[in-house]
Amino acid sequence: MKIVILDGYTENPGDLSWDGLKAMGDLTVYDRTSLTDENEIAERIGDAEIAITNKTPISRNVIQQCPNLKFIAVLATGYNVIDLEACKERNIPVSNVPVYGTRSVSQFAIALLLEVCHHIGHHDKTVHEGKWAHNADWCYWDYPLIELAGKTYGLLGCGNIGIHTAEIALALGMHVIAYDGKERKEAKAMGVEYVDLDTLFAESDVLGLQMPLFPFNTGIINKENIAKMKDGAILINNSRGQMVVEEDLAEALNSGKLAAAALDVVSTEPIMDDNPLLQAKNCIITPHMSWGAKESRQRIMNTTEENLKAYLAGDPINVVNK
Spatial separation of the C-alpha atoms in residues 178 and 163, rounded to whole Å: 10
Nearest 5°: the CA angle 84, 85, 87 is 65
Contacts of 312-318 spanning 24+ positions with Cβ under 8 A:
312/24, 316/71, 316/93, 316/95, 317/95, 318/95, 318/96, 318/97, 318/98
CB 22: neighbour CB atoms within 10 A?
12
CB atoms within 10 A of CB 269: 12
In 3D space, the residue among 280, 288, 249 whose CA is nearest the CA of residue 55 turns out to be: 288
Task: Tell me, yes or no, if 119 is annotated catalytic.
Answer: no
Options 43, 89, 129, 269, the catalytic residue: 269
Q: Is-contact 11 54, C-beta < 8 A?
A: yes
Whether residue 229 contacts residue 259, with contact meaning beta carbons closer than 8 Å, is answered with no
AA letter at 229: M
**50-53, strands of its sheet edge to edge:** 26-29, 2-5, 50-53, 71-74, 94-95
175 is catalytic: no
Count of Cβ atoms closer than 10 Å to residue 229 Cβ: 22
Question: How far is CA 195 from each of CA 13, 143, 160, 187, rounded to the nearest angstrom?
Answer: 42, 32, 18, 13
| Length of the chain, in residues | 322
Which of 240, 246, 297, 299 is an active site residue?
240
Active-site annotation holds for 269: yes
Beta bridge partners of 29: 5
Q: What's the rounded Cα separation, in Å, for the pair 102 and 61? A: 34
Q: Which of 44, 164, 175, 288 is catalytic?
A: 288
CB atoms within 10 A of CB 241: 21
Residues serving a catalytic function are 240, 269, 288
